[in-house]
Amino acid sequence: MNREVRVRFAPSPTGPLHIGGVRTALYNYLFARQHGGKMILRIEDTDSQRFVPGAEDYINEALAWLGIGIDEGVREGGPYGPYKQSERRDIYREHVRMLLDAGKAYIAFDTPAELDAARAATPNFQYDASTRMQMRNSLTLPADQVDSLIAQGTQYVVRFKVDAGRAVEVNDLIRGKVVIKSDILDDKVLYKSADDLPTYHLANIVDDHLMKISHVIRGEEWLPSAPLHVLLYEAFGWADTMPDFVHLPLLLKPDGKGKLSKRDGDRLGFPVFPLLWKDPVSGAISRGYREDGYLPQAVVNFLALLGWNPGDDTEIMSMQELIDRFSLAHCSRAGAKFAYEKGTWFNHQYLQTLPDSRLAELFRPVLAEHGVNPSDFSDDYITRAVGLVKSRVNFVRDLWDAARFFFMAPEEYEAKSVKKRWSADTPAIMEGLIGVLESLPDETYLRFTDEADFDNIDILFCCYPHGHARRLLDAAELPSTLRIIDMSRDYRIEDGTHDFVYGLPELNRKRIVRGATRVANPGSFATAVELALLPLAKNLLLNTPVHITAITGFSGSAVEKTTPDQLAWHRDNVSLYKPLAHQHLPEIRQALTALQSTFDAPIHFIPMRGSFARGMLATIYMDMNVGLDQLRAIYEEYYADHSFTYIVDRRPDLKDVVNTNKCLLHLEKVDGKLLITAVADNILRGAAGQAVHNMNLLFGLHERVGLALKSSTI
For the annotated catalytic residues, the residue numbers are 262
β-bridge pairing 603-610 and 215-219: unpaired
Strand blocks (E) in 51-123: 105-108
SS3 assignment, position 471: helix
Amino acid at 577: Y
The conformation of residue 111, written as its DSSP 8-state character, comes to -
Residue 361 CA neighbour count, 13 Å, CB half: 6
Rounded distance between C-alpha atoms, residue 109 and residue 15, angstroms: 31
How far lies 369's CA from each of 45, 278, 365, 374, 400, in Å?
A: 40, 22, 6, 10, 10
Of 242, 251, 61, nearest to 168 (Cα)?
242
DSSP string covering 356-411: HHHHHHHHHHHHHHTT--GGGS-HHHHHHHHHHHGGG-SSGGGHHHHHGGGTS---
How far lies 564's CA from each of 552, 561, 571, 656, in Å?
A: 17, 10, 16, 12
SS3 assignment, position 464: coil
Helices (H), 481-623: 508-514, 524-538, 584-595
Host H or E run for residue 647: strand 645-647
Burial, 424: exposed, middle or buried (Cβ in 10 Å; 0-12, 13-18, 19+)? Answer: exposed
Give yes or no for a contact between 332 and 305, defined as CB atoms under 8 angstroms apart: no
Give yes or no for a contact between 609 and 552, defined as CB atoms under 8 angstroms apart: yes
DSSP string covering 20-63: HHHHHHHHHHHHHHHTT-EEEE-B----GGG--TTHHHHHHHHH
Rounded distance between C-alpha atoms, residue 387 and residue 382, angstroms: 8
Of 456, 478, 476, 480, nearest to 468 (Cα)?
476
Rounded distance between C-alpha atoms, residue 4 and residue 457, angstroms: 74
Rounded distance between C-alpha atoms, residue 708 and residue 294, angstroms: 39
DSSP string covering 296-337: HHHHHHHHHTSSB--SSS--B--HHHHHHH--GGGB-SS-EE
